[in-house]
Amino acid sequence: MLKTILAVSVAGIAGTLLRFATGTWVNANWPKHFYAATLAVNLVGCLIIGLLYGWFLLRPEVPIEIRAGLIVGFVGGLTTFSSFSLDTLRLLESGQALVAFGYLGISVFGGLLATWAGLSLTKL
């Protein structure tokens, strides 16, 4: 378990630094499009998590430390939107469309509502 925690931690630092570097670069080059950095890391993160998940399905012998390090640590540090996308896709693939769309709606609209609520609480 310690090796897995270490792998997730180190890879998470790398993913987080890549997200920070991407944001810094985008903001320096396209300051009017602040959302472009988030969009870029979310889309790239979704591509990476799909590639990794598919690759790991084909290679069950890959140790859990590597799997967790790359998916939870690196991609999770880069973006959690990719995990949300994979979870939704897996629900759809398993025939749980109603649950998937519920998860999708609650995540998007609930997330917006929670963000608005948090911001509103700071204005009290």
- The model's pTM: 0.77
Torsions phi, psi for 95 (to 5 deg): 80, 15
pLDDT in tens, 44-100: 888 999 999 999 999 999 999 999 999 999 999 999 788 889 889 999 999 999 999
Instruction: Residue 79: name the closest of 102, 49, 116 by CA.
Output: 49
Domain ranges of the chain: 1-123
d(CA 38, CA 36): 5
d(CA 81, CA 73): 13
The SS3 call for residue 92 is helix
